[in-house]
Amino acid sequence: GQNIDQPTEMTATEGAIVQINCTYQTSGFNGLFWYQQHAGEAPTFLSYNVLDGLEEKGRFSSFLSRSKGYSYLLLKELQMKDSASYLCAVSLMDSNYQLIWGAGTKLIIKP
């Protein structure tokens, strides 16, 4: 079957660094999305990784290892506004529109 695992909740301190992991077991993996969702708001796109390695976008970076079925989202210089849920989702080779979603990681930032 298709499965994605991510921690339910994490806590970090303002100004620090946090890494949110996502592991997947899927057939026909194509790529992996990360979305951010603030409470009561729409999920918004953060990154899409297809190739192995680290991609950096400002304070946020996303890493993918296809051989290990593993990705992480790295958030640096944490700000209070980074408190949100972070969703990872896998796109599959044999489906143009069906994404396999994780349940999301709720990140709590403390002063």
Partner 1 sequence: ETGVTQTPRHLVMGMTNKKSLKCEQHLGHNAMYWYKQSAKKPLELMFVYSLEERVENNSVPSRFSPECPNSSHLFLHLHTLQPEDSALYLCASSQGTGWETQYFGPGTRLLVL
Interacting span for partner 1 (CB under 8 A) from 10-18, 34-42, 65-73, 76-84 = 34-42
37 Ramachandran zone, left/alpha/beta (phi>0; psi -120 to 50): beta
d(CA 77, CA 53): 21
Interacting span for partner 1 (CB under 8 A) from 10-18, 36-44, 59-67, 72-80 = 36-44
3-state SS class at 96: coil
- Phi, psi values for residue 61, rounded to 5°: -135, 150
Is there binding between residue 91 and partner 1 (CB under 8 A)? yes
In the list 18, 64, 87, 109, the residue contacting partner 1 (rule: CB under 8 A) is 87
Q: Toward partner 1, which CB reaches closer, 31 or 61?
A: 31
